[in-house]
């Protein structure tokens, strides 16, 4: 399905290849540095294990060393209302692949969703808009398990034969669903 997204000024947003995992990982690393500096009260640091393990969680707590991970989301899942009954204003996606890795290797991890809707209008077969929104929500491990248990899994049709390591699907979660705590 062909579609376009637009920012608050009405300018079309042209995304880099959404399937280029390497590019998105690089951007993610720079977001982590900014996040740690912007929210010092969270007492988070870049996880030192990332130096030797690219799959290690992004962050750790300064004092305890417990893990946290960052999910930066700039584009709403505009079709979440029609497909899954979740208002796109508050819908975030959470890769199934990450969930499985956390459950297997990192019980107790906190996940931070840093939302800054850069895209606020979607034009495809229908037109959908959201309000600009910026904030940080924390999802504790136990709440993550509960949220995923009742969430829909969105399968990325363009990744069915993916060989680049991209997630094949993501859980669609509702920031207002009770599992999340807004912290900023």
Give residue limits of the domains in the chain. Answer: 4-16+70-182
SS (HEC) of the chain:
CCCEEECCCCCEECCCCCCCHHHHHHHHHHHHHHHHHHCHHHCEEECHHHHCCCCCCCEEECCCCCEEEEEEECCCCCCHHHHHCCCCCCEEEEEHHHHHHHHHHCCCCEEEEEEECCCCEEECCCEEECCCCEEEEEECHHHHHHHHHCCEEEECHHHCCCCCCCCCEEEEEECCCCCCEECC
Comparing 48 with 26, the larger pLDDT belongs to 48
Model pTM above 0.85: yes
pLDDT in tens, 110-169: 999 999 999 999 999 999 999 999 999 999 999 999 999 999 999 855 545 555 555 568
pLDDT in tens, 9-39: 999 998 654 444 444 444 446 799 999 999 9
């Amino acid at each position: 399905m062909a579609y376009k997204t637009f920012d608050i000024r009405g300018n079309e947003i042209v995304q880099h290849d959404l399937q280029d995992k390497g590019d998105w990982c690089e951007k993610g690393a720079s977001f982590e540095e900014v996040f740690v500096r912007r929210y010092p009260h969270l007492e988070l640091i870049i996880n030192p294990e990332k130096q030797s393990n690219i799959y290690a969680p992004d962050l750790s707590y300064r004092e305890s060393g417990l893990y946290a991970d960052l999910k930066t989301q700039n584009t709403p899942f505009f079709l979440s209302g029609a497909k899954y009954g979740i208002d796109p204003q508050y819908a975030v996606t959470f890769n199934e692949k990450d969930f499985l890795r956390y459950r297997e290797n990192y019980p107790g991890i906190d996940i931070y969703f840093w939302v800054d809707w850069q895209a606020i209008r979607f034009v495809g077969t229908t037109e959908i808009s959201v309000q600009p929104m910026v904030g940080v929500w924390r999802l504790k491990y136990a709440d993550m398990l509960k949220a995923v248990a009742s969430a829909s899994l969105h399968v990325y049709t363009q990744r069915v034969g993916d060989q680049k390591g991209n997630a094949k699907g993501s859980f669609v979660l509702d920031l207002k669903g009770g599992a999340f705590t807004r912290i900023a």
